[in-house]
Amino acid sequence: MGLFDDLKKKVNQTVNANAGQAVTNAFKKATNKTETITFAKLPDTLEEFKALPQAALTSPFDTAALTVLALCFYPKDKQLCFDMLDAIKGPRPLSQQEKSFINDRFMDGKDYVPRSYFVGATPQNDYTPSEPYSIKVKENPYSYDNENYAKLFITSGGADSDRYVTLRFAKDGKWYLWEQYLLPDIRKPESTNPWA
């Protein structure tokens, strides 16, 4: 029985490795693509978040957009934001260090930063997104350089360069959030500019 178990384990590892490589190779073929992920309505609860079609996590583009969505909840409900992020991080939940980093980024009332990634959100309209809520997620020729990882880019209406998230493909066929770099400073909303 032990020999059979070892053989079965080796076969499963080979199959999973080949499946991961096949997925990575498939994504490597597509370059400079932009996908627009649209949400007809923003979820109010973790259950509604998990029920979104994008929450199947079958595409790294969907997971990237859900990262923005989750971060938007921090000013209203910090724990809900963390629960949503944990849901898309899969087997690797947020660490205390990641939570502290997110807490620090929101300390100065910069609740507008995650909203800036929605289409139509600009400093001039105080980062009020257009409806339905859409996020444009982009890949580039280097997005899939590392096997089973995707580095995708999202445009902020208040920044001169795109920000990025890194997603990781797991053996369950889902793309999970690995790292996010979406919270650096951007231009302040016009309503806070004393010179406007």
DSSP string, 7-23: HHHHHHHHHHHHHHHHH
Q: Are 130 and 120 in contact (CB under 8 A)?
A: yes
121-133 per-position pLDDT tens digit: 999 999 999 999 9
Q: What angle do CA 54, 161, 84 make, to 5 degrees?
A: 30
Q: Who contacts 56 (Cβ-Cβ below 8 Å, separation ≥6)?
A: 62, 174
**Distance (Å) of CA 84 to CA 51, 58, 114:** 12, 17, 14
Pinpoint the alpha helices (H) of 134-179: none
Q: Check residue 194 and give its pLDDT.
A: 79
**Could you say which residues of the chain have pLDDT below 50?**
1, 3-4, 7, 11, 15
Rounded Cα–Cα distance for residues 138 and 32 (Å): 7
Q: Check residue 38 and give its pLDDT.
A: 97
12-54 per-position pLDDT tens digit: 555 455 555 555 555 555 578 999 999 998 999 999 999 999 9
Q: Check residue 20 and give its pLDDT.
A: 55
Shortest CA distance to 63 belongs to which of 166, 181, 182?
166
Rounded Cα–Cα distance for residues 30 and 34 (Å): 10
